[in-house]
Chains A and B, each alone.
Chain A
Amino acid sequence: DVKVTQSSRYLVKRTGEKVFLECVQDMDHENMFWYRQDPGLGLRLIYFSYDVKMKEKGDIPEGYSVSREKKERFSLILESASTNQTSMYLCASTTAQNYEQYFGPGTRLTVT
């Protein structure tokens, strides 16, 4: 079975802190994605990566950056956390064909 793991299930940070969210997949998938999930808004794509060191902006990249130094790991970085970044963050991975995305359990981030 494909396994996508995220470094934390719950995280509480202060405004202005730098925050790292880590995602690791064990199926040698080419593509990896970061979404944020908010009530009534569904999932919105922040960034995705289709290869090591490659990244593409999604729909809401402002305030975020990403890093993909190894194929299995995709990190989301909040350079200076703000309260409007309080949300559920979901990581996903898929093969190059992208017929199915495999999701991690999510990280619920609270910024106070």
Chain B
Amino acid sequence: AQSVTQLDSQVPVFEEAPVELRCNYSSSVSVYLFWYVQYPNQGLQLLLKYLSGSTLVKGINGFEAEFNKSQTSFHLRKPSVHISDTAEYFCAVRSSGGYQKVTFGTGTKLQVIP
């Protein structure tokens, strides 16, 4: 079984400040990891993904995440946030084997304060 934990349900941060959204996962097998973003009244869209290779993954809109296998973490970071980054962010995991199920975290709402 696989699971994802996003400990922070809400993260307020001032505009132009850095931010880190935390994600921890558990799985007994190798995994693929994802971050999705959901803007108000929209579906989810992919920010970035880790499949293999470099543990530092860069995504859209200046976001990046680092895969840490020993700490089973995949934290999302941005050095300077904008008002337009206000959204809900979901971490997700799936096994790298054939089974297709993706498990999503409970989400973190990022509120950027002007």
Contacts and interface: CB of A to CB of B under 8 A. Distances in A.
Interface string A33-73: 00100001111110010100000001000000000000000
A98 B98 CA distance: 10
Contacts of A4: 43
Given A41-B106, A43-B90, A100 B46 contact: yes
Interface string B44-88: 111001010000000000000000000000000000000000000
Contacts of B105: 42
B28 interface: no
Contacts of B36: 101, 103
A109 interface: no
Contacts of A31: 100
A41 B90 CA distance: 11
B100 A103 contact: no
Interface of B: 6, 9, 32, 34, 36, 41-46, 49, 51, 90, 94, 100-102, 104-107
25 contacts: A4-B43, A40-B106, A41-B106, A42-B90, A42-B107, A44-B104, A45-B102, A48-B101, A50-B100, A90-B44, A92-B43, A94-B100, A98-B94, A98-B100, A99-B32, A99-B51, A101-B36, A101-B46, A101-B102, A103-B43, A103-B44, A103-B45, A105-B41, A105-B43, A106-B43
Interface of A: 4, 31, 35, 40-45, 48, 50, 58, 90, 92, 94, 98-101, 103-106
